Amino acid sequence: MSAVTLMDAVRAGRTAELSGILRTMTGPERRACLPELRALRKETRNWDWSPPRGGRSPRPAVHAAGAACNTGAAAAAAWITASETRWWQTPDGLLLDVLADRDPAWQTDVAHRLAAHSAAEDRYGLISGLVRLAGCPVPATEGYVRGWVDARMGDGCRGGTLLARLRTDAELTVLLPLLFEAEGVADRMRWISGADAANSWPHVLAALADEGVLDRKILVDCALARLLRGGSQVEYRWFLQVLQALELTEEERRERIPDWLALAADAPSTVAGHAQKVLGGMALGGDLSAYRLAELSRAVLFRTEKKLSRAQLVLVGKVLGRDPAQADEVLPTVAEAFGHDDSDVRERALKLVGRHLGSVGPGVREELAGAVGLLGPGLRPRAAELFGLPAQAGEPEPYEEVLPPVPVPVRLEAPFASVAELAERVGALLASPGTVAESERVLDGLVRHAHRDRDALVEALRPVTARCRWGEQSVYWAEAFDVAPWGIEAVAASLTGMVRRRTLTEAGRRGDSGVRCAHEALVRAHNERVREAALLVRERRVPFLLATPTWSTGALDTGELIDRLGEFARLGVPAAPADFAQALLRLRPGPDEEHARRAEALGTEEGRRLAAWLTTGGAGRPAEERQVGRRARRYWADVTEAVPRPLIGLGGFTELLGPPFPAAFHGLGRPVAPFDESHCRHWGESPFPDWAAVLPWHRDTVAARLLQDVADAAIEDSRGGAAHLPLLAEGEAEGEGPAGGATHLSVAYGLAARHAEDRIASVDAMLTLAARGQLDPGRLAADLAELAGLGAIRTSRLADAARTAASTGAYATTWEVLRGVLPALLSGDTPVRGAGELLAVAADCVERCGTGQAAPVGVPGLEEAAGRRGSSQLVTQARRLRELLARKNG
């Protein structure tokens, strides 16, 4: 009778009656209710947030009753943490009420099982309640400590200071080590602390240590250990704040010298600077040995941060001024800075060595003289004079520009010989996107083997597709074929019956979506060919694909296409429209009478269309139009901000607006407006290689259609927008001579991108274009100057990219670009912020380049900048560059 009463209360959602009913039930009676409770949980799994016919939702009652009716601790914990019940919001008080009558040992077991679960932080209230009921030790798990921290935030809403609450918290001492070990805790504590420094976690923990509530040594060791372990920038800052709040004594600092050295060597600059300051204080106080000071100098001077390196040289100078006897041990590490990236650091290091050279022995002097080769050509004569070396030791070596090797297109491998090999590659591509060559070879293989033996191919693909995220979700495909970029998965899903033929055919009838973002034309053309291939593998109409490229760039050899059409003619098979259209776009542009005659001789409709295409030269190079001062809008947190940026537009390919091209390809024939403010639905998608392969011979057109992505990498700080630039630089060129305006403007934006990987990709593209003789340094410099003048890019990022390019050995190429940028930055009463960094890189380039590489010309605005008062980086580097140019011009 109790079981019936319990289930009635559960179905009616009467949670207040549950504990009373359950106390009257025996263990077997409770277990007997489990099958019905499981069925009810399954029934309510897919309900909306409210019950279907009004009234109370039975979900909390199901959750609580199931936890109480599972008599085993493991089963009860599994029921409580089941994925479908995580969002049912069953109150912890209700669960504690129905579990309060259980044995303490059982409650302890359940509490520790829940604490070990991945969702422990969401059930902190329940776990801590079970711990109190059972009187058991606090479970020291990461999930539990995250829940504990969140609970302290909730306590703050009820008033009182954090210090007062933690002072009486019995769990604090047990959980203290986990505060420094658990992932995500630092971010929670930083957020909870807010702007009130006195009520922040670091200051509160330090205060509790001063009061003796917490063990100070454990707190210091935990904070240092967490900094040594590493983590995010937020974690580094927070744990450093803990150390700073503790205000370590001299003895505490001396006990941990190896830890400080490790932080100075490998931690982020903020933490490394703190460690350097601590060790510097010891060195000046005589508590740091010469060996340890040399170790610190070697670690810090190896880093790229100029501020840390300069501070270290100042510290070494002060120590050697007080105790010259340490020079033999310390000065060789200073000489390692002769090869530092920053010219000012190199010069300071040389001055420091010269100042204390008389304090070292002959052996150390010889070692220091051997490091002169690390210096740039500008400082070598001074160093040769300092060490008494022959005059030729200070002369620069003949300069030779170092550029990356010119990429050579690779021919695609032969078609897959077996379905097993093909299925293996399909699985690899489904797991991780591949190159154009890999995806095109697999696409052709699916069509080939579906034509030969479709059943065998389907059987081989089933184990591969069974693990895919789309599974058998027909709804996913209905949406995906409407908006998302398609790939190999669409063809594989069509083969294995995971997408209906009706979905494929309806997707082809939708026509123009009306979206006018720059990506849309490339997306529609690519998707149409994939959709067509997904139908071809069902219908087995063609033996292979015509548009499969010959080369890794996506280009197709004309003779090879004619051979494929000849095989189609022999078999009496008509070409698939999208496949044939894509094949035409992959041919080298320009008239080709010889191949046109071969195509005409085939005597087929496709042969005649190909002959006409080859006779007229195919899709020519579109005209370029440039509009300056275009203002594109960006949206952030309901605030509309106008961001200036230039617009580059390309005229369309009028040849693509009609036959033989399907409607999906007509968008390629329209003019490109990269910054059109129409809605773009391709955010977060980056199949750039596939999009670029649609027009492999029209690099500039592809660059224009993807220009918004690169611009956003610089203006909106997005990530990955410049990833396609090296691919474009390595691809086929539309014609002889430099690349077009869209390519140069894309590289210009990319060099000032927010994220380092995007800047590196842009540097790779710039140097590849230079190696191929397709870079116009003047045009790139003009774009950079224009963008800087519009405020669309940050010169500090550009300086970093220029420094990266120069460090590869391309000093002359980098200088040619910077020479055109600097006048725009130096003109006016106030030079552009960050111009000093660019001047430093430019001076390094001129210093490295031979006389025949750096042209004997001046830089407009340089004389005025060098004539300014003061010793800022701008003035110092302007004077240095002026001196170097004068020397080379003379």
Average pLDDT value for residue range 631-652: 38
pLDDT for 633 beyond 50: no
Report yes or no: 873 and 306 within 8 Å, Cβ to Cβ.
no
Q: What angle do CA 873, 877, 880 make, to 5 degrees?
A: 150
Of 232, 236, 235, 163, the C-alpha closest to 201 is 163
Judge whether residue 462 has pLDDT over 60.
Answer: yes
Please tell me the predicted confidence (pLDDT) of residue 525: 86
Comparing 192 with 733, the larger pLDDT belongs to: 733
pLDDT in tens, 49-71: 555 555 677 888 888 888 889 88
- Parallel/antiparallel/unpaired status of strands 639-644 and 631-636: antiparallel
Per-residue pLDDT at 108: 92
What's the pLDDT at 191?
A: 62
Instruction: Spell out a b/e string for 738-763, using b for 16 or more CB atoms within 10 Å of the CB, else e.
Output: bbbbbbbbbbbbbbbbbbeebbbbbb
Averaged pLDDT for residues 367-381: 82
pLDDT tens-digit readout, 521-549 = 888 888 889 888 988 888 888 999 999 99
In the predicted structure, residue 678 carries a pLDDT above the cut 70 = no
Is residue 814's pLDDT more than 90? yes
Residue 638 parent element (H or E): none
Query: Residue 220: pLDDT above 90?
Result: yes
Across the strands, what pairs with 411?
551
Enter the tokens of residue 79.
Answer: 């029921």
Query: Both ends of the chain: CA-CA distance in Å?
Result: 108
With a pLDDT cut of 90, the percent of the chain lying above it is 30
Q: Please report the pLDDT score of residue 471 as a whole number.
A: 44
Mean pLDDT on 789-805 = 90
CA-based radius of gyration for the chain: 35
State the CB neighbour count (10 A cutoff) for residue 258: 11
- The answer to whether the CB of 583 falls within 8 A of the CB of 559 is no
What's the DSSP call for residue 623? P
pLDDT band at 641 (very low <50, low <70, confident <90, very high): very low
Cα dist. 381→62, 343, 376 in Å?
Answer: 85, 15, 10
Higher pLDDT, 146 or 734: 146
Task: Choose between 180 and 682: higher pLDDT.
Answer: 180
Handedness of CA 267, 269, 275, 280 (dihedral sign): positive
Q: Do 627 and 616 touch, CB atoms closer than 8 A?
A: no
Write down the pLDDT at residue 496. Answer: 80
Q: Can you give the pLDDT at residue 659?
A: 59
Residues β-bridged to residue 642: 633
Higher pLDDT, 351 or 55: 351
Q: What is the DSSP string of 164-203?
A: HHHHT-TTHHHHHHHHTTSTTHHHHHHHHHTT-STTSHHH
Position 854 scores a pLDDT of 43
Mean pLDDT of the chain: 82
- pLDDT exceeds cutoff 50 at 12: yes
**By mean pLDDT, which of 43-47, 246-250, 546-550 is the weakest?**
43-47
pLDDT digits 0-9 by tens, 127-143: 999 999 998 988 888 88
- What element of type H or E holds 625? strand 624-627
Closest CA to 30 of 117, 102, 133: 102
Confidence category of residue 472, pLDDT binned at 50, 70, 90: very low
> What band does 682 get if pLDDT is binned at 50, 70 and 90?
low
pLDDT value for 290: 92
When mean pLDDT is compared across 473-487, 598-612, 801-815, 849-863, the lowest value belongs to 473-487
Whole-number Å distance between alpha carbons of 551 and 523: 21
Give start and end residues of each alpha helix (H) in 257-390. 257-266, 269-284, 290-302, 306-322, 327-335, 343-355, 362-370, 380-387
The SS3 of residue 672 is: strand
Torsion of CA 266, 268, 270, 276, to 10 degrees: 10
647: confidence class by pLDDT, cuts 50, 70, 90: very low
Residue 188 clears pLDDT 90, i.e. is over it: no
> Do 293 and 328 touch, CB atoms closer than 8 A?
no
Greatest alpha-carbon pair distance for the chain in Å reads 108
Rounded alpha-carbon distances, angstroms, from residue 557 to 239, 416, 719:
61, 20, 35
C-alpha 64/C-alpha 14 separation (Å) is 11
Q: Residue count of the chain, please give it.
A: 890
294, 461, 626, 768 from 739: Cα distances, Å: 50, 43, 15, 11
Q: What is the distance, to the nearest Å, from the Cα of residue 34 to the centroid of all Cα atoms in its chain? A: 48
The answer to whether residue 278 scores a pLDDT higher than 70 is: yes
Q: What's the pLDDT at 618? A: 74
Q: How many other CB atoms are found less than 10 A from the CB of residue 332? A: 20
Tell me the backbone φ, ψ of residue 624, rounded to 5 degrees: -105, 140
Of the pLDDT bands very low, low, confident and very high (cuts 50, 70, 90), residue 391 is low
Under the banding of pLDDT at 50, 70 and 90, the label for residue 640 is very low
- Check pLDDT > 70 for residue 221: yes
Paired with 639 in beta bridges are 636
Residue 637: pLDDT above 50? no
Q: Would you say residue 857 has pLDDT above 50?
A: yes
pLDDT digits (tens, 9 = 90+) for 434-456: 888 899 999 999 999 999 998 89
Q: Please give the pLDDT value at position 771.
A: 93
Residue 522: CB atoms within 10 Å = 25
Model confidence at 676: pLDDT above 80: no
Where b means 16+ CB within 10 Å and e means fewer, 480-519 reads bbeebbbbbbbbbbbbbebbeeebbeebbeeeeeebbbbb
Q: At what angle do helices 362-370 and 380-387 cross, to 10 degrees?
A: 160
pLDDT exceeds cutoff 90 at 258: yes
Provide the pLDDT for residue 549. Answer: 93
Structure tokens at 142: 């990461």
pLDDT digits (tens, 9 = 90+) for 706-750: 888 898 899 888 888 898 899 889 876 655 557 888 899 999 999
pLDDT tens figures, 741-778:
889 999 999 999 999 999 999 999 999 999 999 999 99
**pLDDT higher than 60, residue 351:** yes
pLDDT of residue 309: 93
- The whole-number average pLDDT for the span 811-825 is 91
pLDDT of residue 646: 46
Write down the pLDDT at residue 90. 80
**Tens digit of pLDDT for each residue in 232-248?**
888 888 899 999 999 99
